Amino acid sequence: MKEISTKEVQQALEQGQAIKLIDVREVDEVESGHIPGIIHIPLGLLEFRMHELNKNDSYVIVCRSGGRSGRATQFLESQGFDVSNMVGGMLAWDGEVQ
């Protein structure tokens, strides 16, 4: 499983790179603060909504601490997607939050 640090994601966003972030937390968690520009797909719905994603794109998976995003990353990887788990999740995020 590929991993990426919160610092690497933050630097890429600050440099204007178009990173596709999928936040797999629940609705109330996302409403309390999320990285701007995320795609929100709760972990429980990922299997049913993965058709919304493009296998030609790369995605970074985000959750609260890295556990759920790790499971989501493994699942999407097994389905042929190019995904990386953001280690530490939102607890480790120091960047902008909406």
Tokens at 64, concatenated: 């609260």
Angstrom CA distances, 5 to 12, 25, 96, stand at 11, 18, 15
Cα angle, residue 60 at apex, residues 22 and 96 outer, rounded to 5° = 75
- The catalytic residue among 35, 63, 76, 83 is 63
The answer to whether residue 50 is catalytic is: no
Positions annotated as catalytic residues are: 63
